[in-house]
């Protein structure tokens, strides 16, 4: 089977210094959402805005299938709606309309006139490999490249200590193909590993030689 290849990647980590990775492709940490008009930007949190900036950067001509994964989605908005329901208050129509997992992709698609396939995933900690499997499927169908983005928003205080989380909002995106860039080489699985966007930025930026996942991954030597 042909190997997935990494053509390009971008990351967003508001707490990381730009020189903290050997191969810095980090977006500016402040005010994400430059790829969106203000009237659409207001609908997303910073992780969603950064996701859109990464999608626009990796697919500037809106030609690629796009896949977005988030383990928790916009947990703050979801929790605020649950609290409103518990208090028998009416739900915000805006929050409700944005509470679906593919909302971020939808905003990006509207802003960028993107008409190719869009897919949103949650995979209980296995988001990165789920993104790769789905990307592999689109490439097998004949698409030249696929862009995947993995993001996490801030976690509400009520959920801290209840679920794994990278600790702060972050996002990373990869443009994958079967023909261009360094191959992703599968390695032994690390049982229980649940890589976050920060782990993937560390790996792609050269701070760690492999990504602990099930299976794990390393990049082919340049």
Partner 1 sequence: MNQSVPLSLDLKHMIIDTLELEDVTPEDIDDHAPLFGEGLGLDSIDALELGLALQKRYGVTLDAEAEDTRRHFASLAALQALVEERRVN
Least CB distance to partner 1 at residue 10 (A): 23
Which among 85-93, 151-159, 176-184, 208-216 is the span making contact with partner 1, rule CB under 8 A?
85-93
Least CB distance to partner 1 at residue 93 (A): 4
Interface characters, 90-129, with partner 1 (x: CB under 8 A) = x-xxx--x--------------------------------
Tell whether residue 38 is a contact of partner 1 (CB under 8 A): yes
Which among 45-53, 75-83, 87-95, 139-147 is the span making contact with partner 1, rule CB under 8 A?
87-95
Q: Which residues pair with 11 in a beta bridge?
A: 26, 172
For residue 168, which of 40, 76, 68 has the smallest C-alpha distance? 76
Contact yes or no for 171/54 (Cβ under 8 A) = yes
Interface characters, 41-80, with partner 1 (x: CB under 8 A) = xx--------------------------------------
Least CB distance to partner 1 at residue 88 (A): 13
Which among 14-22, 38-46, 154-162, 192-200 is the span making contact with partner 1, rule CB under 8 A?
38-46
**Closer residue to partner 1 (CB): 42 or 63:** 42
Binding residues among 134-163 for partner 1 as defined by CB under 8 A:
none
Q: Give the whole-angstrom CA distance, residue 91 versus residue 88.
A: 9
User: What length does the chain have?
Assistant: 222
Contacts of 58 (CB under 8 A, 6+ apart): 8, 9, 10, 64, 147, 173, 174, 175
For residue 150, which of 181, 129, 177 has the smallest C-alpha distance? 129
Residues forming contacts to partner 1 in the complex (CB under 8 A) are 38-39, 41-42, 90, 92-94, 97
């Amino acid at each position: 089977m042909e190997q997935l290849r990494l053509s390009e990647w971008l990351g967003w980590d508001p707490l990381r210094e730009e020189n903290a990775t050997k191969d810095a492709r980090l977006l500016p940490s402040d005010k994400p959402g430059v790829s969106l008009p203000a009237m659409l930007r207001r609908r997303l949190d910073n992780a969603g805005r950064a996701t859109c900036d990464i999608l626009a950067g990796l697919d500037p001509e809106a030609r690629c299938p796009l896949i977005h994964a988030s383990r928790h989605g916009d947990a703050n908005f979801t929790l605020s709606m649950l609290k409103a329901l518990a208090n028998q208050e009416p739900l915000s129509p805006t929050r409700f309309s944005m509470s679906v997992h593919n909302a971020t992709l939808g905003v990006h698609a509207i802003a960028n006139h993107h008409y190719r396939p869009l897919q949103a995933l949650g995979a209980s900690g296995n988001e990165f490999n789920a993104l790769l499997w789905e990307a592999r499927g689109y490439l097998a169908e004949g698409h030249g490249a696929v862009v995947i983005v993995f993001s996490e928003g801030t976690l509400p205080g009520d959920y801290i200590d209840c679920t794994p989380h990278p600790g702060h909002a972050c996002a990373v995106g990869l443009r994958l193909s079967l023909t261009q860039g360094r191959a992703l080489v599968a390695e032994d699985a690390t049982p229980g590993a649940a890589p976050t966007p920060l782990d993937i930025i560390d790996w792609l930026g050269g701070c760690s030689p492999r990504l602990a996942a099930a299976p794990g991954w390393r990049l082919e030597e340049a």
